[in-house]
Structure 1
Amino acid sequence: MPAAYEQYLVPVVFRPFAEDLAARAAALRPRRVLELAAGTGVLTSLLLAAAPSVEVTATDLNEAMVAFGASRAPGAVWQLADAQRLPFPDGGFDLVVCQFGVMFFPDRVAAFTEARRVLAPGGRFLFNTWGPLGTHAFGAALQAGLERAFPVDPPRFLPTVPHGYCDPTVVAADLTAAGFTVEAEQEVTLEGRAASAADVALGFLTGTPVRAAVEERGDGPAVRATVIGEMTARLGAGPVAAPMTAYVFLGAA
């Protein structure tokens, strides 16, 4: 999964927002940065490039992602870690960053409280979260393809998990409950570009938990053909471009 995620999804879906988040992080002039849910290291690499003197500790709950990320961004210290129970002392970092990871935390207030605990006084927590599925043209097209392939019981991973934490009011309330002051909140829409809709479909179908949901339901090749067909009909043949919306939050400890 990490290889497919890196090949098909990172350049199209995640890198544009990682560039945005890395620039925001560098502008804060941090010295010690903790990254949560670092995945394959796209934000990690950009952080190291934007602020070469910064010390970055990159973490993820998935061992395969940590191994892949460590090979991709060796300038960071990589460590397996649960965001809800961070293995770091109080006040050890001046910036905690997370790219599209907070949606996966089972207890977000607990994870945000841990982020605050490991921050020095005055430290910041910078992260982004996806907007509603309808504001992400690639994801919406994929979900339409899944619903066409499985009209009775389509996989619901995209609308319920990556796009299931899309109310800025709820996110801000969780930050406040964890003891943060919400310093900034911004809606950001960026464009993703892919060689084809089929490439994006392959990324979601083989590099995310959608893969398991499809395998549980049956005929993989037929499903893949249906999803690719629907995505191509919606996004176009050949190279495709589509808008994607996220929210960026900055909390102050």
Structure 2
Amino acid sequence: MSSTDKVFAGSIPRIYDEYLVPLIFAYYAADIAKRVAALSPSAILETAAGTGAVTRAVTAALPAGIRYVATDLNEPMLAVAAQRQGEDPRMSWRQADATALPFDDATFDVVCCQFGVMFFPDRVKGYAEAKRVLRPNGTFVFNVWDRIEENVFADDATRVLGQVFPDDPPRFMARTPHGYHDKAVIKADLEQAGFRDISIETLAAVSRAPTPEYVAFAYCQGTPLRNEIEARDASKLQAATDALAEEIRTRHGPGPVEAKIQALVITARP
């Protein structure tokens, strides 16, 4: 993982929440919320909460009286999440590393994480921490993106930016968000962390946007791809965004546009 892969700062959190959440995250947030609500938990921990897409979906699906703690390593992302959530007496926010959680053992009924474990520097350690803070009959629910070829706009972005920067292609999307999709590896990592009852489901959906420019802006300026572009040549950020928009317009039409997205949804119990 590059040192810039986990940097969600500056204008990235706002663009991520405004553009990328509806583009690719909202559908899977609703899916996580449905799964968590079905467990009827009283205490929930969310790790790598980002700008709160899952937080908003899960809290909307749960009654008063529950306790929900949302954490993320990036304070700027949590700040957006807390602002979007508004006042909610069930909620608390805390900057925290998912691989070293500041909570007591057996504290939560559910730990959930949306598209975050790919960023963990030590996934087994992160899973072990989730297991540690779960109550004996607790459940860990999380998702990861499937291979990049199954996620068309992300694949488009990676290909086009490789053409813009042929000597040093930005590989963030393939390397990190779409770099942890082998079901056997995921299962083995969970088992090493102490989980035994493991289910992995493939879930496809459709990503939709009003224009090709929307998609290009979301990926090039609302993710750490922006860090990679600016590290190579900050003056080319808009040109790279425009190149991706043109590619999407050529491949998918002038807009509205849509393309396949696909993720793996994992449920694990000790």
TM class, shorter-chain normalised? Answer: over 0.9
C-alpha distance in 1, partners of 2:33/2:107?
20
TM-score, structure 1 normalization = 0.97
Segments of 5+ residues of structure 2 without an aligned counterpart are 1-11
**Counterpart residue type for residue 242 of structure 2:** A
C-alpha distance in 2, partners of 1:182/1:236?
44
Count of aligned positions = 253
Partner of 2:123: 108
Q: 1:85-96 counterparts in 2 under 5 A? A: 85-96=100-111
Q: Percent identity?
A: 44
Partner of 1:175: 190
TM-score, structure 2 normalization = 0.91
Q: 1:101-140 counterparts in 2 under 5 A? A: 101-140=116-155
C-alpha distance in 1, partners of 2:167/2:215?
24
Range 179-188 or range 7-16, more displaced? 179-188
1:238 is aligned to 2:255: yes
Q: 1:216-227 counterparts in 2 under 5 A? A: 216-218=231-233, 219-227=236-244
Partner of 1:159: 174
Q: Deviations over 1:151-210 (max 9, x none)?
A: 222101000100000101101110000001133210000111111121111111111111
- SS where residue 151 of structure 1 aligns? coil
Partner of 1:55: 67
**Counterpart residue type for residue 225 of structure 1:** D
Segments of 5+ residues of structure 1 without an aligned counterpart are none
C-alpha distance in 2, partners of 1:84/1:28?
24
Partner of 2:268: 251
C-alpha distance in 1, partners of 2:232/2:197?
42
After superposition, the CA RMSD in angstroms is 1.1
Partner of 1:20: 31
Runs ≥4 residues deviating over 4 A: none
Q: Deviations over 1:84-116 (max 9, x none)?
A: 110000010010000000000000000000000
Deviation at 1:29, TM superposition (A): 1.1
